[in-house]
Amino acid sequence: LLALAGLLVGYGTQLGNGCTSGHGVCGLSRLSLRSLVAVLTFMLVAAVTVFLTRHVFTGASQ
């Protein structure tokens, strides 16, 4: 699971041109619209993922 997560993070960072630090810290403070969209997207998707693994499919993945 950790390896899958790593693959997704690596691939997604390349495809979306940035990560938490890049879009989140550098992009937001530059008032970049692209970064705002990216940050909202990955925050939302990550929160949904955590919701699914912790509250819906409990025990299946952890």
Partner 1 sequence: VNARFVAAVSGALFAVGLALSGMTDPGKVLGFLDVAGAWDPSLAFVMGGAVGLHFLWLRFGSQPSATSSRNVDARLVGGAAIFGVGWGLSGYCPGPALTSLAFLRPEAIVFTVAMLAGILVFRLTSRPRLASESSSVEPEPAQAIDIIRTAQSD
Shortest Å, Cβ 38 to partner 1? 4
Q: Tell which residue, 6, 5, 15, has the closest CA to residue 49.
A: 5
Query: What is the distance between the alpha carbons of residues 55 and 53, in angstroms, rounded to a whole number?
Result: 6
Applying CB under 8 A, the site for partner 1 has a residue count of: 51
Interactions with partner 1, residue window 23-62 (CB under 8 A): 23-35, 37-39, 41-51, 53-55, 61
Q: Tell which residue, 45, 44, 59, has the closest CA to residue 8.
A: 45
Q: Give contact residues for partner 1 (rule: CB under 8 A).
A: 1-17, 19-21, 23-35, 37-39, 41-51, 53-55, 61
